[in-house]
Amino acid sequence: MESKPPKSQFYLFNRFFLKNGSQLGRLHEFCEKGFLPALERHCAGPKIFLQATMAGHMPQVAMLAGLSSWDAYGVLREKLGGDRDFASLSAKWEVDDEQPVEHYTTSLLRATAYSPEISNAEPPAKPRIFEFRSYHSPSHWKLYALHQRFAGPEIGIFHRLGIRPILYTDTEIGPGKPCLVYLTPFESLAEREEKWAAFAADPEWQELKKESAKDNGPLASIVSIEIFTAAPYSPVR
């Protein structure tokens, strides 16, 4: 019987920031033919490739890959470095007159204890949108209080209203620390607006928000919201 991969404890999170023009198509070609196959060879966790439709920098492509441990990140880097097919495709970037990426960032996100595992199940027939929310807390104790609120009643309200994030993380390495990042799929922008409007008007949430502010003050000083769609080749869509 085939063993089930361990639950992802960390997520490699790459963002590729591009210029308008041919970069977007060339990057998608590299991800589909080079990056994803290499990840499939060396990383057992879930993988998702996304293209921004509403974000601070456009065009933008993002990639998440689940890792079973902290050490797995270093192992993956070594394996990618020794992968001849991946290295050959990567080397072409370095000699091209027009680079396919303007710049990129790499973060390591730690899955929270209450985070589900991203499913690699058969994708839905209709493409979904994905919302990234990043909540920057002014201190670690406020971030802890934010996690306590999420892990308890807030997720229950989410699920009751049909909001089902597929990932909750802390930023272990990357910008904006301390920071909670979570990813939520929706069938459409219209569904997203409807669900969040229902959440904002929900009496249970309003009472929870009031009690949270009374006990802890504001828990997130900066909130960033970005909308993505999955690339056609993304295992998770």
**116: Cα separation from own chain's centroid:** 13
Residues 96 and 20 in one domain: yes
Query: Which pLDDT tens digit goes with each residue over 199-212?
Result: 999 999 999 999 99
Split into its structural domains, the chain has a count of 2
Residues 102 and 183 in one domain: no
In angstroms, the CA 57 to CA 54 distance is: 8
Separation in Å, CA 217 to CA 169, 179, 221: 22, 17, 10
Query: Which pLDDT tens digit goes with each residue over 114-160?
Result: 999 887 666 677 789 999 999 999 999 999 999 999 998 999 999 99
Q: From 57, 80, 111, give the residue that closes a domain.
A: 111
Residues 76 and 153 in one domain: no
Residues 134 and 97 in one domain: no
Asked if residue 2 is part of any domain, the answer here is no
For residue 85 the two structure tokens come to 């097919």
The CATH number covering residue 29 comes to 3.30.70.100
Asked if residue 121 is part of any domain, the answer here is no
Asked if residue 123 is part of any domain, the answer here is no
Asked if residue 104 is part of any domain, the answer here is yes
Q: From 51, 80, 111, give the residue that closes a domain.
A: 111
In angstroms, the CA 74 to CA 133 distance is: 27
Query: Which pLDDT tens digit goes with each residue over 58-114?
Result: 999 999 999 999 999 999 999 998 999 888 877 776 665 566 778 899 999 999 999
Residues 81 and 144 in one domain: no
Domain span at residue 33 reads: 10-111
Q: What are phi and psi of 122, to 5 degrees?
A: -55, 125
Asked if residue 1 is part of any domain, the answer here is no
Asked if residue 197 is part of any domain, the answer here is yes
Q: What is the pLDDT of residue 20?
A: 86
Residues 34 and 104 in one domain: yes
Q: From 82, 111, 140, give the residue that closes a domain.
A: 111
